[in-house]
Amino acid sequence: MSALLDHTLALCHAAREAGLPVTQARTLDACRALASIDCANRDDYRVALRTNLVASREDEIVFERVFARHFGQWTDEHDGGAILARSELLRGELDAGRSNEGHRDMLTEADTFGAEEVARRANLAARWDPDAPPLAQVIRELARRLATRPSRRVAPDRRGARVDLRRSIRRNVRHGLDLLELARVARKTRKTRIVMLCDVSGSMDAFNPFLLQLMFGLQQALTASRTLVFSTRVSEITAALRRRTVAETLRDIGQRVRHWSGGTDIGAALGELNRGVLREGSSRATVLVVISDGYDNGDTARIAAELEVAKRQVRTLVWINPMFGASTFKVRAAGMKAALPYIDHFLPAFNGRALHQLVKGLRAV
C-alpha cells in the first residue's frame, strides 16, 4: 500500500509540475479513490487518478503523458520537445527589417515624422512596459463603449417595469394586509461579449507588443470576452490573459501557442471559430473583433464563406487592420479584399493614437 501511495503522490506531483491544477484537496481525493478501486489494474488506477486530477480535455491528454512517462512508457520523441516560449514574445524584441510592404509603409512614416510623433508611435516598437501600460485608459474606454446590453437577470429598481412579488409581499405584510407598496425590478445591463481573433502570423510580428497590450487590456476589462490567436492554427488564450501579471500571462501564452509567427490561414481560423466559440450564447450579444492584416496563405474563397457564417452568429463584425493607419495603405491583401463585404467596421489601430480613433468608431457598434 505504501508503494502505491508513493506512486500516487509522485504522480500528483508530476501532474502539478506539468501544469495541471492539482490542489491539496484533489490529491487527497485521488488517494481516497484508491480505496475503492482495484489498484492492480493499471487502467483503473489511471482513470481513477485522472478523473480526480484533471478539469478539461486538454488536461486529460497532459495527464496521460505524465502517467505514461511515470511508468516509463513514454519516450520524449513523442512529446514534440519541451514547449518553449518564443523569445521575441517574452523580451519584446522586434525584427524591424521584415520586407513586408505594410511594415515598410509604417516604418518609413515613423522615420519621416518629427521626434514627438515617433515617440508617440514608438510604443508599437517598444517592448512591453510592465510599469505603465500606456493603453490602459483607452482600453478601459473601449471596454466601456462595448459594455451595454440588457441582461436576463433582474435587480431591484424603483422605476422597474416588473413587479417583484416576493419583495412586495415581504414588505407589505409588515404593515398591513393589502399590497399598498409594490417593489419593482428591472433588467440589469450586462457586458457585451467580445470574441477577439488575433492574427499572430509572421507578417504581424511588428505589431506584437501592441496586440499583446490590447488583448491583455480588453480581457482584463471585459472578463466575459474570449481571446483567440491564430496563424495556421488557432489557440485560445483567454485563460492566459486572465492571469494577474503580465509576466505570467506572457509565459503562459508562450507555453500554449506554439505557432506564433507562423503562416496565415484566416479562413481556417474563422472556420474553427464558427464551429466553436461563436456557437455559444446568444448571437445578438456577441461582437466579433478580428485583428489581422489580411495577408493570407490560405484559400481566399474560404475567408468569404466563413465570414458569411460568422456574420450570422454575431451582432457586429469589427476588423482591425494594423496596416490601415499607414498613409499609403491600400487594400492590397487578397484576404482582406475577400473579407471587406462582410465587415461592419473596418478600423485602423497600430498604436495608442490609432486606438483612440477606434474607440470613437465603436460608438456606433
Partner 1 sequence: MTQAPAWQHPFSRVEDVATTFAAHDYVADRALCLTTKLAFDLGKPILLEGEAGVGKTEVAKVLASALDTPLIRLQCYEGLDASSTLYEWNYARQILEIRLAESDAARRAGLDTALFGPEFLFERPLLKAIRHPGPRPAVLLIDEVDRADEEFEAFLLEILSDFQITVPELGTFHAVQRPCVILTSNRTRELNDALKRRCLYLWIDYPTPDKEREILARRVPGLDARLADNVARVMQALRSVDFYKRPGVAEALDWARALLELDVRELAPATVLDTAGVVLKYRDDVERLGRLDLEALLDGRAVEK
What residues make contact with partner 1 under the rule CB under 8 A? 21, 23, 25-26, 29, 32-33, 35-38, 43-44, 47-48, 50-52, 54-57, 59-60, 151-153, 165-166, 169, 173-174, 177-179, 224, 226, 238-239, 271, 274-277, 279-282, 309
CB of 268 to partner 1, least distance (A): 9
Q: Specify the residue, 161 or 169, whose C-beta has the smaller distance to partner 1.
A: 169
| Angle of CA points 194, 196, 197, to nearest 5° | 155
Quick one: which H or E segment has residue 282? none
d(CA 227, CA 214): 11
CB of 159 to partner 1, least distance (A): 21
Joined grid coordinates for residue 92: 519584446
Joined grid coordinates for residue 200: 499572430
CB of 279 to partner 1, least distance (A): 6
Q: Specify the residue, 44 or 95, whose C-beta has the smaller distance to partner 1.
A: 44
CB of 88 to partner 1, least distance (A): 28
341-346 — which CB contacts under 8 Å span 24+ positions?
Answer: 341/304, 342/304, 342/307, 342/308, 342/310, 342/311, 342/317, 343/307, 343/317, 343/318, 343/319, 344/316, 344/317, 344/318, 345/316, 345/317, 345/318, 345/319, 346/319, 346/321
CB of 296 to partner 1, least distance (A): 18
Cα-based torsion angle of the residue sequence 116, 118, 122, 123 in order, rounded to the nearest 10 degrees? 40
CB of 178 to partner 1, least distance (A): 8
CB of 37 to partner 1, least distance (A): 7
What burial class does residue 132 get, using C-beta atoms within 10 Å of its C-beta: 0-12 exposed, 13-18 middle, 19+ buried? exposed
Q: Specify the residue, 37 or 340, whose C-beta has the smaller distance to partner 1.
A: 37
Q: Specify the residue, 103 or 193, whose C-beta has the smaller distance to partner 1.
A: 193
DSSP secondary structure string for all residues of 15-60: HHHTT----HHHHHHHHHHHTTS-TTSHHHHHHHHHHHH--SHHHH
CB of 132 to partner 1, least distance (A): 31
Q: Specify the residue, 23 or 108, whose C-beta has the smaller distance to partner 1.
A: 23
Q: Are 139 and 356 in contact (CB under 8 A)?
A: no
Q: Specify the residue, 153 or 360, whose C-beta has the smaller distance to partner 1.
A: 153
Q: Specify the residue, 52 or 213, whose C-beta has the smaller distance to partner 1.
A: 52
Q: Specify the residue, 66 or 107, whose C-beta has the smaller distance to partner 1.
A: 66
DSSP secondary structure string for all residues of 116-128: HHHHHHHTTTSPP
d(CA 149, CA 46): 46
